[in-house]
Amino acid sequence: MGLLKKKQGSQGPQTKRERVPQAHPVGPKGIMGKTGYGYGIRRRWLFSNFFVVLAFTVIALGILAIVTAVGHLAVGTLLVALGTAVALIGVMFATNIFFIRSILSPLDQLTALSNRISEGSYGIQQTKKFDDEVGKLTDAINNMSMRINQTETLKTEFISSVSHELRTPLTAITGWGETLLYDESLSAENRRGLEIILREARRLSKLVEELLEFTRMEDGRFTLNIQQIDIAQELGETIFTYREHLRRDGIELGYTPFEGELPLIPGDPERLRQVFYNILDNAAKHGRDGGKIMVKVELTDGGEVAVELRDFGPGIPEEEMGHVKMKFYKGSSKERGSGIGLAVCEEIVRYHNGQLEIRNAEDRGLVVTVRLPIEVRG
């Protein structure tokens, strides 16, 4: 995939696609010839197996000497021949072990590198040790990692730029819409239309804020204001704020507080309220058919506070479960949204050294658990 570069012309901005250098094909000279990828490994293979041929040749000559000339051949000469054969066998094993390790070790490192790239560590590089096909594979993976990193950077900058451009007009639309609602001369139909405009403007504003939050996380500008907080109080305020909104949508929000006193935990209260709000919002959108959302708080034996939020909707298909926390992933859901809400929640919880777990309930619905440590972890 090529990178897009801005090119300013007389007719406005245009895009120019830059071609990525293609890998050399493996043909008749690719495996067996000097100019192909196989020359380095082929050379090491021939070197190691030369001693195999030599060792077996000496052994064969020694056996032949024993059979045909035992009567007049000196015992010392036989021992020298056998000793030489044994030494050559030892060299054979050593060179073959070196040959195998010279391939397997770089491949293991490249496998680990590829796994890290697939997990999002774009731009990381592997040192090339041999100028052979393994070295060329290393160059290809390094180039892929660099290109993915450039593409991700370009995407993040684009999202950030567009989000900032949308923020100002959306703020103006929301502000003027709220002002116009105070006009008592508005007809019922105009008032209803204005409320729809406001609702959609607020939804887009929320989307823009999520995108901006995402770009801050991507480029390292995301920060936390850590302090000792009462997680039950933060959760209770979120539920109190959101309960009436859910009630208007016909969804019951139940809350089971912890029986006893929870210890204070280190955390950013604003960010954690954002996590709870996003999870409740997802439960309301995707689990509204169940008509109920249940929230409870527990203290685990592992020194964590666990906040569990469950809806009674259809849940998530098992084949999609491993992808729901990926950025911009929406799966088979038809609900509107950016697909980064859970990804943002995952990052916030991870910054708190906690865990965000998602699973389907045994009978019906989805269970989301936020685990936060009581003590600061190094």
Which string of DSSP letters, residue by residue, matches 153-186?
Answer: HHHHHHHHHHHHHHHHHHHHHHHHHHHHHT-TT-
Pairwise CA distance, residues 375 & 228, whole Å: 10
| pLDDT score of 244 | 81
Sign of CA dihedral 46, 48, 49, 50: positive
| pLDDT score of 5 | 38
Q: How far is residue 300 from each of residues 101, 263, 307, measured CA to CA in Å? A: 46, 12, 10
Residuewise pLDDT in 10s, the chain (378 residues) = 333 333 334 333 333 333 333 333 333 333 333 333 344 555 555 565 665 666 666 666 666 665 565 555 555 666 666 676 677 667 767 766 776 777 777 888 888 888 888 877 788 888 887 777 788 888 888 888 888 888 877 877 777 777 778 878 888 888 888 888 888 888 888 888 888 888 888 878 877 877 777 777 776 677 788 899 999 888 988 888 888 888 888 888 888 888 888 889 999 998 899 899 889 988 888 877 778 899 999 988 878 899 999 998 888 888 888 877 777 777 666 666 666 778 888 888 988 999 999 999 888 889 999 999 987 555
